[in-house]
């Protein structure tokens, strides 16, 4: 591969990453809408935001469906962060009411 071909390939890969990032962002925002609805339901039922058993179910689901190349420990760390941010969304939403 020539340097010019390598630069072009790099540019194509980066464009794919940019497109994938926008798709991930869209999915995260869709997930957030569902989390907001869950927050409203929990508030009505006076349930706590933090549910460790449910979080373990989420981790088991994503890790059980992970086919790599991302290792399960990385998947769990990513979803820990996602869940933490979603908890913040629910907490903020409940504080406004």
pLDDT of residue 93: 86
How many CB atoms sit inside 10 A of residue 40's CB? 13
Q: Is 47 helix (H, G, I), strand (E, B) or coil?
A: coil
Rounded to whole angstroms, how far apart are CA atoms 36 and 90? 6
pTM: 0.89
The C-alpha atoms of residue 21 and residue 13 are separated, in whole angstroms, by: 12
What distance in Å separates the CA atoms of residue 89 and residue 84, rounded to the nearest whole number?
9
CA distance 43 to 94: 7
What are 59-84's pLDDT values in tens digits?
999 999 999 999 999 999 999 999 99
For residue range 19-75, what is the model confidence (pLDDT) as tens digits?
A: 999 999 999 999 999 999 999 999 999 999 999 999 999 999 999 999 999 999 999
Structural domains in the chain, sorted by start: 3-96 (1.20.59.10)
Query: Taking the mean position of all CA atoms in its chain, how far away is CA 73?
Result: 15
């Amino acid at each position: 591969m020539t340097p010019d071909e390598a630069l072009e390939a790099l540019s194509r890969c980066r464009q794919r990453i940019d497109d994938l990032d926008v798709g991930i962002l869209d999915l995260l925002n869709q997930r957030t809408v569902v989390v907001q609805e869950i927050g409203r339901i929990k508030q009505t039922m006076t349930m706590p935001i933090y549910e460790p058993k449910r979080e373990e179910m989420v981790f088991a689901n994503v890790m059980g469906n992970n086919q790599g190349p991302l290792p399960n420990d990385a998947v769990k760390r990513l979803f820990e962060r996602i869940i933490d941010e979603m908890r913040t969304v629910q907490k903020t939403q409940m504080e406004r009411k």
